Structure 1
Amino acid sequence: MKRLLFLLFSVLFVLSCSKNTSQKQEPQKIDNVFYDKAFKFRDTLKVYDSAYYYFNKAKDVFLKQNDSLRAGKCLVHMAIISTDKGDYFGGQELSLSAIPYFHTGKAEDSVPIASNFNNLGLAYSNLKNYEKAIEYYQGALSFTKDHNSLWALKLKNNIANSYRDKEDYKTSLMLYRKLLAQKIDNTDEYARIITNNAIAEWLQNPNYNAAPELLNALHIREKEKDPLALNSSYSHLADYYTKKKPDSALLYAQKMYLTAKKINSPDDQSQALEKLIKLSPSEAIKYFAIYQPLKDSIEIARNKAKNQFAVIRYDTEKHKSDSLKFQKDSTEKTYMVITLIVLLGLGFFWYRKRKQRLEMEKENAIKESRLKTSKKVHDVVANGLYRVMNKIEYQPELDKEILLDEIEDLYEKSRDISYEKPLAPTSHFHQKLASLANSFNTDKIQIHLIDNTPTLWEQVNATAKDEVTHILQELLVNMRKHSEASEVTLQFARQENELHITYQDNGIGIKGAVKSNNGLRNTETRIKNLNGQITFETGSEKGLSINFSFPV
């Protein structure tokens, strides 16, 4: 598992922090109290934010001493802590900033360079940029003298893993086989490589029998009694058996969860719970109730760590000019500080403007959502209900079953009023319009449809048909409420690539300018949505004429 690999790399890197390049010798005492405190907080007390803080302080001391090597090592330690705590961008940034502090031609710099490149590989891998990860892993390997060492094996394994993660199984399997062909004295690393090889074979060929290799790795790890390594095997076996032997998959997921709880590993607990939720439907609710707050607490802890690291970096940002150029005079240092302050000011200003813009966009989205809901209430509930009431009042012979169907349809639409549902196909749209018009016929009002033929609507899409239905319903409701008309004509025509609809009645008409009430606004919006146009013929003594058209 990546966390296990990362911790192992960190331990190896700790050994590289002495003046002498030999990892077997004791590190020489450094005249930097912050450096000692940083290691104490990291390795003994396991308080990583404090370790990060003191590495940052130690770096500043080394810069004043013109000790670029150890200043660079402090940055690499900070980068490793950031990556380990899930701040991959922060770890990447720190590792990249450490590169100029090392000299590729000096033997004593080769170990921290390799560790730094490995951290970059891990950060890029977690960010799923596998090409970059491979590039940095290979860079780390080029600064490793003994290619048969445990460190080199881990780097080669990481390279193979990156090829596997980017689904280049052919290359990854070739690299795993090369590793397995050489003598591997470290049982942990051997178990890791055979596990990774088996997983790659299985991912390439789902029918591949990976069980013998995975179980062999598990038995090796059981002898070593390393809970982190055991959890890696449990995780892979649970994944492998998910479809082949669900009972076995459930067993290994349970083992992984129990081990993760025992060693207090929230990440492993979270992964195990995800598997248990999938593998145990009868207990999924129980596991999910544990998983959700755990996942939230992990995310909160990671964000807290990221924020703490960012604050620490921000508090010491004014010293960045010293860490980049040791011999600059005071004038240049002042210029750099001023430039940094201006950039921070501009960044803060940009952040505020962006925050205001996002808040405004959010408010507009809420208003738009409310407007849509209001329009639906008006069109679906108000106008639909009015149409049904009109039928009940003026069509005494109305079939009860038909009426109940219409009320039920109106009920269903009102229930789903806040959802965007796909429009149903309308193969007999001309009949739907005829039914709509008929629902407004009374003994005093006659509605006539002209040229409402099936062929007219053949090339009109479902969205346009839906909009036309609501537009005509709105016009007929307004007619019924306000016009005092006794005759209404709806005429349809196709002219080249446009469909024209004319509404005419013999009512009292509209005197003066057209007032944009709620219904009229909805109508104009719908026609605009169809890229169409609408015109009102007003001012006549009798009646009202409305023409609208839209492209087909």
Structure 2
Amino acid sequence: MYIDLILISFIGAVFFINPNEKTVEKKSKKKYQAIELDKLIKKADKYYDEEKLDSAYYFYNKVLPLYDPEIDHTKYVYTLSSMAYIQTLIGNFIESEELLTKTLPYLSKIKEPIYARNVYSNMGINYYNTYDFENSLFYHTKALKLPGTPYKKAIVLNDIAHVYMEQNRYDIATEILEMLTARKIVYKREPLLSDYFYASLQNSLGVCYFNLKKPKALDLYLKSLATNLQGTNKFILLNNYKSLSDYYMENNPELALQYAKKSYETAREVNANSAKMELLAYLIKLSKGSELKKYTIDYIKLTDSVINSRKSARNQFTNIKYYSKINKDENLHLKAEKAENELKLQQHKTSNIISGVIITFILTLCIILSFYLSIKGRKQKNNAIQESETRISNKLRNELLNEVQNVLTYAKNNDLETADNKNELLESLEKIYSQTRNISKENSDIITDKRYSLTLKNMISTFKTTDTNVFTNGLTDINWIKIDKNKKIIIYRVIQELLVNMKKHSSATLAGVNFKVIKKNIIINYTDNGKGVNMNQVSKSGLQIIENRILNVKGEIQFESNPDNGFKISIKIPF
């Protein structure tokens, strides 16, 4: 990188010495750049088709800052939406939504409706996976209103039907699916896909009939299965076997277990980890004896593997994002220098050689500074990653290791065919799964834009249970847009830490977080009715983390607690 920048500075000096060649060289460079960008996009598409998502994302991310969205609307939107869909595939739904939001100002400038439809459909899928079904329906409906072939509209209608199914509104979903299955819609480019899609519609309609206690559910299941068995795509067989297992659950448990095993074996063949976890949990409920113990151990091992792979994937995409920002900053810096050079070219045509030497000297200083800052930034970033990984690994070890060990010991030493032992085992597995999801949420990125108040509110609401009620007051009265981004992140983490401690240690049944603004200060009062602590005896290691965060933004914090008298904390942070 250092040598490349020196070459750029040398070329900048030559521009000053040879101004008559400037126009020809600019046109040639622009044409060359367009060809190179197309090559990068084709490379990214190739990796995507080969399901090498990390490599595809790297090249999409590399080419994105080189497009001018005001000129290259279509390519800019295509690149962003491709990156967003990759984020959706690996489960980063919020990150995917942020990328898609950047496309919205440019969709009206693109004539082809396919780009807007893909963006709206992907947003609908993201909201579906985060259980925001109203917004999911909103964006799927926007996609449906756009011009498109009958096949494209059928895909969107199928997505809408699945949202209604997830809401248990099977009657509405049935109307949509009956309309779609009345006549097979053919996709002319790939007719085989039409067969798979129609079989999928039949299976979904069968699920609706089954839940509405209507006849013909089994007939639809079997027709869908027969079609999919003729193809080579084994992934689509997962839902067929699962649906048949659900159908026979009450009347023929042995046949239900056989179909559940087929579904699990298919998931293993196509290496679908999420499906394997879901089906293992399903098999645990259906199995007995040695099979129950085997599936339980497999479930625990797979859970641990998924945790590690998701952690690795998150770090990998974080690295791509981080180095992309460095490259973007360097590109902007070089563009600014280029504009400065062109201005000086027009003002000092008679002193070309002197100007060239001066600009070369200035650029060399900038290069040295950029090189120094780049090294410093890498060190800071590596330290931050190491601290984050250490904290996450400690949390996984402290919170999950004992639980997993206890479940393994329990499974080996107890008779799992008895109802009580089996139920206790299922509750332990559910607890491990819940802890895994909580750790994932605690270490995810925090949205700090205009959706911050909703993000904060949603985080607080996740601590509500049947035994504990958590309420907020005044959160939406604060104009969070005016608050510094770092302060919003600290407020989010502090409240999250307080609620985690409440859930683990206090046995509280009621907790409240009150927000208000007094004299350009944000006042946050937290209180719960838990068992409290003796402030003279308690170790302040946990509270010290909270206190340090508040002091870092020049805030103030006060603790108040006594045994059996709850816990109170007051925080003041300046605007």
Q: How many residue pairs end up in the alignment?
A: 335
Cα deviation, residue 125, structure 1 = 0.9
Cα deviation, residue 353, structure 1 = 7.2
Partner Cα separation in structure 2 for residue 244 and residue 229 of structure 1: 25
Match of 1:290 among 280, 287, 298: 298
Is structure 2 residue 90 aligned with structure 1 residue 90? no
Cα deviation, residue 318, structure 1 = 7.1
- CA distances 1:483-502 after superposition (whole Å, capped 9, x unpaired): xxxxxxxxxxxxxxxxxxxx
Q: Could you say if the C-alpha distance between residues 299 and 112 of structure 1 is closer, same or farther in structure 2, counting changes exceeding 3 Å?
A: farther
Residue 273 of structure 2 aligns with which residue? 266
What letter matches 2:43 in structure 1? K
Partner Cα separation in structure 2 for residue 321 and residue 200 of structure 1: 52
What letter matches 1:92 in structure 2? E
What letter matches 2:179 in structure 1? K
Is structure 2 residue 241 aligned with structure 1 residue 237? no
Cα deviation, residue 74, structure 1 = 0.6
Cα deviation, residue 226, structure 1 = 2.0
Cα deviation, residue 305, structure 1 = 2.4
Cα deviation, residue 96, structure 1 = 1.6
Q: Could you say if the C-alpha distance between residues 231 and 64 of structure 1 is closer, same or farther in structure 2, counting changes exceeding 3 Å?
A: closer
Is structure 2 residue 128 aligned with structure 1 residue 125? yes
Cα deviation, residue 270, structure 1 = 1.8
192-201 vs 59-68, greater mean Cα deviation: 59-68
Cα deviation, residue 528, structure 1 = 8.9
Residue 213 of structure 1 aligns with which residue? 220
Cα deviation, residue 87, structure 1 = 0.9
Is structure 2 residue 42 aligned with structure 1 residue 36? yes
Partner Cα separation in structure 2 for residue 64 and residue 98 of structure 1: 9
**Contact 2:268–2:276 under 8 Å retained in 1:** yes
Residue 60 of structure 2 aligns with which residue? 55
**Contact 2:87–2:96 under 8 Å retained in 1:** yes
Q: Describe the SS at the equivalent of 1:34.
A: helix
- The answer to which structure, 1 or 2, has the higher relative contact order (CA under 8 A, 6+ apart) is 2
- CA distances 1:345-366 after superposition (whole Å, capped 9, x unpaired): 9545665676577668878998
**Contact 1:82–1:309 under 8 Å retained in 2:** no
Match of 1:137 among 113, 117, 140: 140
Partner Cα separation in structure 2 for residue 308 and residue 104 of structure 1: 34
Partner Cα separation in structure 2 for residue 242 and residue 304 of structure 1: 38
**Contact 1:32–1:58 under 8 Å retained in 2:** no
**Contact 1:59–1:72 under 8 Å retained in 2:** no
What letter matches 1:182 in structure 2? R
Q: Could you say if the C-alpha distance between residues 173 and 363 of structure 1 is closer, same or farther in structure 2, counting changes exceeding 3 Å?
A: closer
Correspondence 1:430-469 to 2 at 5 A: none
Q: Could you say if the C-alpha distance between residues 172 and 328 of structure 1 is closer, same or farther in structure 2, counting changes exceeding 3 Å?
A: farther
Residue 190 of structure 1 aligns with which residue? 198
Structure 1: segments with no counterpart, 5+ residues: 1-27, 332-340, 370-419, 421-515, 517-526, 532-552
Structure 2: segments with no counterpart, 5+ residues: 1-33, 187-193, 341-376, 378-447, 450-482, 508-535, 537-561, 567-575
Q: Describe the SS at the equivalent of 1:316.
A: helix
- CA distances 1:384-443 after superposition (whole Å, capped 9, x unpaired): xxxxxxxxxxxxxxxxxxxxxxxxxxxxxxxxxxxx9xxxxxxxxxxxxxxxxxxxxxxx
**Contact 2:203–2:240 under 8 Å retained in 1:** yes
**Contact 1:273–1:287 under 8 Å retained in 2:** yes
Residue 232 of structure 2 aligns with which residue? 225
Q: Could you say if the C-alpha distance between residues 183 and 302 of structure 1 is closer, same or farther in structure 2, counting changes exceeding 3 Å?
A: same
Q: Could you say if the C-alpha distance between residues 306 and 63 of structure 1 is closer, same or farther in structure 2, counting changes exceeding 3 Å?
A: farther
**Contact 2:65–2:328 under 8 Å retained in 1:** no
Residue 281 of structure 1 aligns with which residue? 288
Match of 2:77 among 72, 76, 87: 72
- CA distances 1:428-486 after superposition (whole Å, capped 9, x unpaired): xxxxxxxxxxxxxxxxxxxxxxxxxxxxxxxxxxxxxxxxxxxxxxxxxxxxxxxxxxx
Correspondence 1:487-506 to 2 at 5 A: none
Q: Could you say if the C-alpha distance between residues 356 and 128 of structure 1 is closer, same or farther in structure 2, counting changes exceeding 3 Å?
A: closer
Residue 117 of structure 2 aligns with which residue? 114
What letter matches 2:292 in structure 1? A
Residue 313 of structure 1 aligns with which residue? 321
Q: Which has the larger radius of gyration?
A: 1
What letter matches 2:163 in structure 1? S
Partner Cα separation in structure 2 for residue 364 and residue 169 of structure 1: 39
Partner Cα separation in structure 2 for residue 278 and residue 364 of structure 1: 32
Cα deviation, residue 302, structure 1 = 2.7
Is structure 2 residue 256 aligned with structure 1 residue 256? no
Q: Could you say if the C-alpha distance between residues 279 and 69 of structure 1 is closer, same or farther in structure 2, counting changes exceeding 3 Å?
A: same
| CA-atom RMSD in angstroms | 4.2
Partner Cα separation in structure 1 for residue 216 and residue 235 of structure 2: 24
What letter matches 1:36 in structure 2? K
**Contact 1:63–1:322 under 8 Å retained in 2:** no
Q: Describe the SS at the equivalent of 1:157.
A: helix
Partner Cα separation in structure 1 for residue 36 and residue 143 of structure 2: 26
Residue 161 of structure 1 aligns with which residue? 162
Q: Describe the SS at the equivalent of 1:145.
A: coil
Give TM-score, length-normalised by structure 2.
Answer: 0.51
Q: Describe the SS at the equivalent of 2:250.
A: helix
User: Percent identity of the aligned residues?
Assistant: 25
Cα deviation, residue 233, structure 1 = 0.4
Q: Describe the SS at the equivalent of 1:244.
A: coil
Give TM-score, length-normalised by structure 1.
Answer: 0.53
Partner Cα separation in structure 1 for residue 125 and residue 227 of structure 2: 26
Q: Describe the SS at the equivalent of 1:243.
A: coil
What letter matches 2:185 in structure 1? I
Q: Describe the SS at the equivalent of 1:224.
A: coil
What letter matches 1:34 in structure 2? L
Cα deviation, residue 243, structure 1 = 2.0
Q: Could you say if the C-alpha distance between residues 528 and 278 of structure 1 is closer, same or farther in structure 2, counting changes exceeding 3 Å?
A: closer
**Contact 1:121–1:135 under 8 Å retained in 2:** yes
**Contact 1:239–1:249 under 8 Å retained in 2:** yes
**Contact 2:184–2:198 under 8 Å retained in 1:** no
**Contact 1:32–1:61 under 8 Å retained in 2:** no
Cα deviation, residue 55, structure 1 = 0.3
Q: Could you say if the C-alpha distance between residues 256 and 363 of structure 1 is closer, same or farther in structure 2, counting changes exceeding 3 Å?
A: closer
Following TM superposition, where does structure 1 have runs of at least 4 consecutive aligned residues deviating by more than 6 angstroms? 318-323, 327-331, 356-366
**Contact 1:82–1:306 under 8 Å retained in 2:** no
Match of 1:99 among 92, 100, 104: 104
Q: Describe the SS at the equivalent of 1:107.
A: coil
